[in-house]
Structure 1
Amino acid sequence: MPVVSPDVSVLSEDFAADPYRWFPHLRERAPVHYEPAIDSYFLSRHEDVKRVLTDHEAFTTRTLQVRAEPVMRGPVLAQMTGAEHTAKRKIVVRAFTGQALEEHIRAVRANAAELMAPFLPRGRMDLVNDFGKPLAVHVTLDVLGLDSGDRRRVAEWNAGVTEFITSLALTPGRRRRCLECAEQLEAHLRPVIEQRRRAPGEDLISKLCTAGFDGIAMSDREVTALVINVLAAATEPADKTLALLFKHLIDHPEQLAQVRRDPGLLPAAIAETLRYTPPVQLIPREAEEDTVFGGGTVPAGATVFCMIGAANRDPGAFSDPDTFDIHRPDLGTARSFTAAAQHLAFGSGLHQCVGAAFARAELDTVAGMLLPLLDRVRYRPGFRYRESGLYTRGPVALPLDFTPARKGGTGLG
C-alpha cells in the first residue's frame, strides 16, 4: 500500500513556501511518500535517491516522453541509452570542455561586464532579475551560436518550455501556452539549423548539424531537441545558483570575508551552495518493477521523484547538513563537479548533468568578478526573502545595495 504522510503534501502551499522545513519529516517518517493527486512517489533519503539515479535499468527515464519530449520536440539526452547516448552526449560534452570551454568563459566575462556596468555606479541591483536571468540567457545563446538580438523572444519561449517540464500539474490553458512556446521556438530554430548545415561554424548548433550517429547525420528534429535541451538545462540552474551563492555568503559574513580574502575558496562556496540549496530539486524516473525501499515499496510503472534537496540534507550523508559551511570535510570540492560528487545537485549515474564542468567555470568566473566589485554588499532595506518552485527552486528576487564602484575602478575594462 502507498504511504501517504498525513502531515504534509508535496503539493501543498506550506510545502512550497519552505520545503526544507519538511524534509526531515519525510526522510524519517515517510521516505517513500505517495501523492495520490498525481499518482507519484517521492524519495527523500540520500541512499534511496542515489540508488534510483544510478540504476538506469530498474529506473528509466521513460517518464520524460510525457514530461519533456512534447516541448523539446523530440527525445532528449536523458531518454537515450547505449551507443546513441554515448555518441550524442560526447558531442555536447565537447562543447563545454577544453578549448571550447575557454572560449565560452571569455564570452561569459564579456557578457557579465556588459550587464554589470550600468549598476556599478548606482550601488544597487537585483541580482536575480537585473543580472542573473539575463546573463544565463546571453551565455547560452553564445554557446549555441544564436543571435543575441533574439534573446527576449527566446527567453520567453524557453520559459514556457521550462514551465511544462517543471510543473507537477498544469491547467489545460497553461499546457496549451507552453506547447505554443515550444512550437514557436522550433520554428525559430528551423532556418538556423538549415543555415548551419550549409555553412557550419564553431558553435554548438553547427557541431550538432555536422555530427553523425552510426554514420548518419542527425535529423532536424534530433538537432532541435538537443538545442532546446541545452537551452533549458543551461539557463534554469545558472541564475538560481549564482543568487543562492550570494545569499548564503551574505547570511554568513565570516565566510564571505574568508572568500574575499582567499578567492581559492570560491569553488568550495559554489559546491556547498549546490549541496545546501540545489537549484534542481526533483529528478523523475519510472520504476521498471516493484522495488522495496526502507520506507515502503514503489510499484512497477510508477513515477518516482528523487528529492535532491532532501537527499543533500540527509544526516546519513553529511554531518550537520542544515548548516552552510564552505569548509565542511565531507563534501570534497575537487570531486563536487564530477561523477564522484557526494552531493546530488548534478544528478548521478548515466544521466548526470553534462554541463557540470561548465557550470563550475561559469559560476567561478562570474562570482569572481562580482565579489571585488560589490563592496559592503547587503540586502536592500525592507527586503523580505522568498523562494519559489518545487521542481527547480531559487530566489524570486535578490535586491542588493553595495558601495558604488569608483570611476575607472570597476575592473571591467
Structure 2
Amino acid sequence: MAESPFSILSESFGAAPDRYFSRLREQSPVHYEPSIDSYFLSRYRDVKRVLTDHEAFTTETLQTRAEPVMRGPVLAQMTGAEHTAKRKAVVRFFTGEALRHQVRAIRANAAELVAPFLTRGEMDLVNDFGKPLAVQVTLEVLGLDKRDWRRVSGWLDGVTEFITSVALTAERRRHCLERASALEGYLVPIIEERRRRPGEDLISALCAVEFDDVVMSNRDVTALITNVLVAAVEPADKTLGLLFRHLIEHPGQLAEVRRDPALLPAAIAETLRYTPPVQLIPRHAENEVVLAGTPIPAGATVFCMIGAANRDPDAFSAPDTFDIHRSDLGTARSFTAAAQHLSFGSGLHQCVGTAFARAEIETVAALLIPLLDQVRYSPGFRYRETGIYTRGPAALRLDFTASTKALAARP
C-alpha cells in the first residue's frame, strides 16, 4: 500500500468527504490511518463483503465504541436466538398496525411543530423542526413523555458523540459518559414502573422479553431503549434536511415531486444513496484477510465508508449525480434487506428502524413539500455539513410561502 500524507481525520476531508471518494477508491481502496490503527474501505464490493460476512467481520468493536454509553450490549452485538428474540420485540413496534398508528402520530406531531412557522415564512428545518420532531416521535413509540424531549436530546447528544467520534479526547469521553449515566438514571425508574404496570408501549414489551427463560435486566432494557433512540433519531432528522437540500438545489426534480407525490419515495431513496446520514460502519477483523490486495491483520478495526461505496461507479451509473429517476437504485427495495445502496447497512445487522425511518421521512416530507411553497434558502444562508461518522446539515434556514391550498387540505 502506497504511503500517502492524506488523512480521513483531516479538516479538509471533514469539510467535504465526497471530494475524496473517487481518489480513495482508485488509489487507496484500503486506507490505513496510523493514529487510530484502523483501515477504511471505500469500494462497494469490499464494503458489501465486510457487512455481509459476519464470521470474518464481527461487531466486536461495539464493546468499546457503543457499550459504555449504551450501558449494555445492543442488537448489532447479538447473534443467534438472542438476536432473533430481541430484534423481533423491537421490529414489532416498527411494522404493521403499530407502524400505521405511529404514522398518524408522526403527522400530528409534525403539523403541530411546523404550525408556528407558517405565518413567519421562515424556519431552520434542521434545528427548529427536524431534530425536535425525531426525538419527540421516538419518545412516543417508547411510551415516554415527549415533553422531556429537550432533556433526552441533550443526553442523547453525548451518547451519539461517543459512538460516532473516530478520535475522542479524555475530556469529551468523560462528558459523554456523564450524559449516558444521566439518561440511564432517567430510564431505570420508568423501566421498573413498566415492569409493575405494563402498557402497550415498546418499553413494556422489552421488559417482557425472555431469553433462556430469563427476562432482561434493567441494564439490558436500557441498552435497547438507547439503541432505539439512536437508530431512530440520528438518520431521520439528517435525511429530512438532506432531502430538502437536494430538492432545493435541483428545482426541476422538486417540481416533479410536487406534481407527482408518488415520486417522493424515489427522492428519499436517492437522498440515502447520494448522501447517507451514516457514513461509517465499523467492523472487527477476526482473522487476517486481504482486501484490494492489502493485508488486514487479525484484530484490526475496519471502517466501511458507506458514502464512498454508494458513489462507486461499479455499483451505480453516474454516481455523483443526484437523480430521482435512476434505474439502478430500485425504490421498492431501497428500504429492505435487498437494497442496492448500503445506507442502512446490509445483512444480519441491517438497521432495525428502516421501516420506521421510511415512514417518518415520507410522512413528514409529504406534509411539508406542498405546504412550503416557493421554498428556498434564506438570504445569506451558507450550507454546511458536519460529521464524518454520521453526517448531515448543521442547519437549513429556509424561506417559503405557506400554501393556502395545502393549509386548507390539512387534517
Give the structure 1 partner of residue 300 of structure 2: 302
- 1:391 partnered with 2:389: yes
Match of 2:161 among 160, 163, 166: 163
Q: What is residue 202 of structure 1 aligned with on the other side?
A: 200
Q: 1:217 to 1:48 in 2, by over 3 A?
A: same
The match for 1:345 is 343
Residues 250 and 377, structure 1, Cα contact 8 Å, conserved in 2: yes
Does residue 268 in structure 1 map to residue 266 in structure 2? yes
Hey, what's the Cα distance between the residues in 1 that align with 2:407 and 2:107?
17
Equivalent residue letter for 1:358:
F
SS at match of 1:95: helix
Corresponding position of 1:53: 51
Is the contact between residue 371 and residue 406 of structure 2 (CA under 8 Å) also seen in structure 1?
no
Counterparts of 1:344 and 1:30, CA distance in 2: 20
Instruction: Kindly indicate whether the alpha-carbon contact (under 8 Å) linking 2:43 and 2:308 is maintained by their aligned counterparts in 1.
Output: yes
- Asked if the contact 1:5–1:30 (Cα under 8 Å) also holds between the matched residues in 2, the reply is no
In structure 1, the residue matched to 2:217 is: 219
Q: How many residues align?
A: 411
Deviation at 1:233, TM superposition (A): 1.1
C-alpha distance in structure 2 between counterparts of 1:116 and 1:129, whole Å: 12
CA-to-partner distance for each residue in 1:34-75, whole Å, 9 max, x for gaps?
Answer: 000000000000000000000010000001000000000000
Could you list the per-position Cα deviations for residues 308-359 of structure 1 after superposition, in whole angstroms to 9, with x for gaps in the alignment?
Answer: 0000000000000000000000000000000100000000011001111111
Counterpart residue type for residue 76 of structure 1 = V
Partner SS for 1:409? helix
- Following the alignment from structure 2 to structure 1, what is the Cα–Cα distance between the partners of residues 67 and 138? 20
Give the aligned partner of residue 115 of structure 2.
117
Amino acid at match of 1:354: V
State the AA in 2 paired with 1:224. T
Superposed, 1:14-25 pairs within 5 Å as 14-25=12-23
1:377-399 deviation line (CA, Å, top 9, x unaligned): 10111111100001000000100
1:295: Cα distance to partner? 4.0
4+ aligned runs moved over 6 Å, structure 1: none
Contact 1:32–1:293 (8 Å) recurs in 2 = yes
Query: Aligned partners of 1:28, 1:252: CA distance in 2, in Å?
Result: 29
Taking the aligned partners of 1:172 and 1:151, their CA distance within structure 2 comes to: 28
Q: Structure 2: which 5+ runs fail to align?
A: none
User: How much has 1:412 moved relative to structure 2?
Assistant: 3.8
Map of 1:4-15 to 2, 5 A cutoff? 6-15=4-13
Residue 217 of structure 1: CA displacement? 1.1
* 2:388 counterpart SS class: coil
- Say whether residues 1:359 and 2:341 are aligned partners: no
List runs of 5+ in structure 1 lacking aligned partners.
none
Identity, in percent, stands at 74
Partner of residue 60, structure 2: 62
Q: Give the counterpart letter for 2:314 in structure 1.
A: G
Matched, 1:174 2:172: yes
- When structure 1 is superposed on structure 2, of 292-301 and 343-352 the one drifting more is 292-301
The change in CA–CA distance for 1:131 and 1:258 in structure 2 (over 3 A counts) is same
Distance 1:278 1:55 in 2: 22
Distance, in Å, in 2 between the alignment partners of 1:328 and 1:100 is 32
- Distance in 1, Cα, partners of 2:404 & 2:256: 24
Q: Is the 8 A contact 1:8 1:22 kept in 2?
A: no
Q: Secondary structure at the match of 1:317?
A: coil
1: distance between equivalents of 2:345 and 2:194? 32
Shift of 1:404: 3.1
Q: How large is the RMSD of aligned CA atoms in angstroms?
A: 1.2
Q: After superposition, where does 1:299-338 map in structure 2 within 5 Å?
A: 299-338=297-336
Cα distance in 2, alignment partners of residues 399 and 304 from structure 1? 36
Task: Work out the CA distance in 2 between the residues paired with 1:409 and 1:216.
Answer: 52
**Does structure 2 retain, via aligned residues, the 8 Å contact 1:120–1:410?**
no
